C-alpha cells in the first residue's frame, strides 16, 4: 500500500511494502459482510524520518494507529464493462474519520496462487478532516489531494465473494 502526495516544493510517498494486515476482530455481524482490514500506520516508511514523523502526526497515529479499509463483497460490487474494473464500495477510516468511496479495482488472476485485488483512489485530506500541513512559516504547503494505491493478495475464489484472507 502506498500514499502519494505533493507540496509546492516536492513530491512524497509513504509505503508499506510488508503489510502485516490484521482483519478486524469484531464479533458482531459485519456490515453487509464487508471485509475489514486494519493496516498499522507505524509500518509505513517515507522519504526521511522528519517527513515520516510529520505523516504520523498528520494522521494522528498515536491516537488512531490503524488505517481501516472495509471492502464490500464481490456480489454487491458493480462491474464496469467499459474498463473491465470492478467498482467496490469501500469505507476508508483514517485519523478517526470514515468516508465511503467507490474504488475501481482490477482483479488479477494468479495461476495456482489466488488473486490480487488492485486499486487506486484520489482523496482529499479534508475528506478526513485533516488540514493540509503548512511548514517553515508557510513556505512549504502540502496539497490537499493524495493518492492511495493498494494491492491485496486473495488466496482463493471464496475470498472474492466472502472474506479476504492473508
Domains of the chain by range and CATH? 2-161 (2.40.128.110)
pTM for the predicted model, two decimal places: 0.80
Distance CA 165, CA 75 (A): 17
**Which set of grid coordinates corresponds to residue 41?**
500506520
CA-to-CA dists, residue 57 to 3, 34, 70, 91, 112, angstroms: 15, 29, 23, 22, 42
For residue 153, count CB atoms less than 10 angstroms from its CB and return exposed for 0-12, middle for 13-18, buried for 19 or more: middle
Secondary structure of the chain: what % helix, strand, coil (to 5)?
20, 45, 35
Q: Digits of tens for pLDDT over the chain (166 positions)?
A: 899 999 998 899 999 876 655 554 554 455 567 878 888 999 999 989 999 999 999 999 999 999 988 888 878 888 877 777 889 999 999 999 999 999 999 888 777 777 788 999 999 999 999 999 888 888 889 999 999 999 887 665 444 444 443 3
- Write phi, then psi, for 47 (nearest 5 degrees): -60, -35
Sign of the CA dihedral running 109, 67, 100, 131: negative
Amino acid at each position: 500500500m502506498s500514499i502519494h502526495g505533493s507540496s509546492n516544493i516536492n513530491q512524497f510517498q509513504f509505503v508499506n511494502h510488508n503489510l502485516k494486515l490484521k482483519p478486524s476482530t469484531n464479533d458482531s455481524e459485519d456490515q453487509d459482510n464487508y471485509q475489514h482490514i486494519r493496516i498499522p500506520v507505524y509500518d509505513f516508511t517515507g522519504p526521511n524520518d522528519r517527513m515520516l514523523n510529520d505523516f504520523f502526526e498528520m494522521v494522528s497515529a498515536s491516537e488512531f494507529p490503524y488505517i481501516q479499509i472495509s471492502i464490500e463483497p464481490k456480489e454487491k460490487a458493480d462491474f464496469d464493462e467499459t474498463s473491465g474494473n470492478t467498482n467496490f464500495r469501500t469505507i476508508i477510516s483514517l485519523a478517526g474519520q470514515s468516508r465511503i468511496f467507490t474504488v475501481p479495482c482490477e482483479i488479477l488472476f494468479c495461476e495456482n496462487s489466488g488473486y490480487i485485488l488492485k486499486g487506486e483512489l484520489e482523496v482529499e485530506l479534508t475528506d478526513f478532516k485533516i488540514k493540509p500541513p503548512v511548514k517553515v512559516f508557510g513556505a512549504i504547503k502540502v496539497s490537499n489531494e493524495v493518492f492511495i494505491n493498494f494491492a491485496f493478495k486473495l488466496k482463493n475464489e471464496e475470498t472474492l465473494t466472502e472474506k479476504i484472507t492473508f
